[in-house]
Amino acid sequence: MTYYADLTPYTYDSDNGDPEASGTWRGVEVLNVGWLRRGKRYPKGAPPPKLAATLNRMARTHRARQTRGFHDCPWCTSRLFLGRSDGPRASAEIRVMGSGVAYAAPELVGHYVERHRYLPPAEFIEAVLSSNTAS
């Protein structure tokens, strides 16, 4: 998967002329969150209660930008063998509205929080937990 630092402008697939990669969504700027890669450091910590569960629900209710291929969790997947993976995989991203911005995160972001201690930026956490999906 492509790596993007948290809170940088969203540009995924912009080199293919995709209008959804323009960096805006629903009229606001889109920022990256959770685009992690093996070998790159990321913030770790104990997540607030309900964060991972809410993100995992959002992977079903807030999906966007479905792709044709799959991304495998780089930490759970034992090396791929004949094109098969035994770890979590995903093929889309989620979008979360914040205060004046939107966030784009890979569909596995809840898994990263739950299993790999990824601690997203505070403003993203606030947007997720204040959404109607957090109940």
Give me the pLDDT at residue 24, please.
81
What does the pLDDT look like over 25-75, one tens digit per residue?
Answer: 788 999 999 999 989 999 999 999 999 999 999 988 887 766 666 677 888
Q: What is the pTM of this model?
A: 0.84
Taking the domains of the chain in order of start, what are their residue ranges?
Answer: 14-134
- Residue ranges with strand state E in the chain: 24-25, 28-32, 63-64, 71-72, 89-90, 93-97, 101-106
Alpha-carbon distance 123 to 98, whole Å?
A: 7
What does the pLDDT look like over 101-133, one tens digit per residue?
Answer: 999 999 999 999 999 999 999 999 999 999 887
Structure tokens of 117? 């201690």
